[in-house]
Each structure stands twice: as C-alpha cells, then as structure tokens.
Amino acid sequence: MMDEDIDKAARLLAIIYSTVKGDGAYINNEPLFTLSDCGAVRFSAPIQDRLNLPENGDLIDWAHGNIKSLL
C-alpha cells in the first residue's frame, strides 16, 4: 500500500469502525457494502452518509475504488 493510500485507508477504516461501533447500525450484521454484478461498490447507508460529508469529499471516490482490495 502506497503512503497516500495509507492516509485514505486509515480514514476509511475510522469511518467504518466509527459507524459500526458508534451508530449501532450493525446489530443485525448488516453488510458494510455490496457489489453489483458489474463490480460497482454500494456502501451501506450509514457509511455512505459519513462519506457524503464535505470533509470526506476527497475520500469518497477512493473508498469506492479501493474498499474491495482493502478488506
């Protein structure tokens, strides 16, 4: 993993962990994300909501493109 990827990976992991731990949205083991037949990533609503925040504007595209290889 390149250094610039590590920055974004740490931020994305923090969002995922914050969502899972802090929001209680995953008590029923809701998937973190799903893949369509064409391979497109769809994050769960709580994670997508956090990614949509203005502060994560530079992260959202990276998250969709790299979550599969990250996890």
Partner 1 sequence: MTKRTLTLSSPQFTLDAILNPAIILDIDGVYTHCNQPYLDSIGMSLAEVLGRTDSEILPAKEAEIHNQANQFLLSLQSKYIAYEIPFQEPASDVLGMTKVSKSVVTASDGQITGFIALFSLNNRSYYLKIRKLFNLTNQEANVLFSLQAGLPVKSIARALNISTHTVAGHMKIIYQKIGVKSNGELNLKIAILKQS
Using the minimum distance from each CB to partner 1, give the nearer residue, 30 or 61.
Answer: 30
C-alpha pair distances (Å), 54 with each of 19, 26, 29, 51, 60: 17, 24, 27, 8, 10
Name the residues that contact partner 1, by CB under 8 A: 1-3, 6-7, 9-11, 13-14, 16-18, 20-24, 26, 29-37, 42, 55, 70-71
Using the minimum distance from each CB to partner 1, give the nearer residue, 61 or 71.
Answer: 71
**CA gap 55, 21 in Å, rounded:** 20
Using the minimum distance from each CB to partner 1, give the nearer residue, 42 or 61.
Answer: 42
